[in-house]
Amino acid sequence: MLPKPNRLRVGSDFNLVTKTGSRFTSENLVIYVLVSKSDQSQAGLIVNRSVGGSVSRHLVSRKLRHNLATQLPKLNQNLMLVVRVLKQSKNYTSEINELFSKINLKFSKNNKADV
């Protein structure tokens, strides 16, 4: 479960991140990322009906929230993330790890350039 301060809940924030943020893709996931003005990283999920029925979508959401809760503290910056699920998979952990390493790489380069 994501702690309350780490949850992205407002629709306008979802729109801002998905429309103007950087996009990182894998086979089953797309993660949109934007630098956050808050003091903590925040994440939100978009799980479409194409993934399956209500029960399977909620199962996917629970698995992803668990993975995100372990990955958010490892980010180099405070970021807003929106994770869009494209297809159902048994395990998203490897994809999340791969995408988070790409995100850290990109945003750590931006940090060094700003300094």
Residue 9 belongs to a domain with what CATH number?
3.30.230.10
- The model's confidence at residue 99, banded by pLDDT at 50, 70 and 90, is very high
Q: Is residue 105 part of a domain?
A: no
State the greatest distance between any 2 C-alpha atoms of the chain, in Å, as a whole number: 47
92 against 115, higher pLDDT: 92
- The whole domain housing 87 covers 4-99
CA distance linking residue 10 with residue 33, whole number of Å: 16
- What's the pLDDT tens digit per position in 12-52? 999 999 999 999 999 999 999 999 988 999 999 999 999 99
Q: Is residue 31 part of a domain?
A: yes
Number of domains into which the chain is organized = 1
Q: Is residue 114 part of a domain?
A: no
Q: Is residue 45 part of a domain?
A: yes
Predicted pLDDT of residue 111? 56
Predicted pLDDT of residue 113? 46
**Tokens in use for 17?**
């991140």
State the residue for tokens 């089953």: 28
CA 105 to chain centre: 15
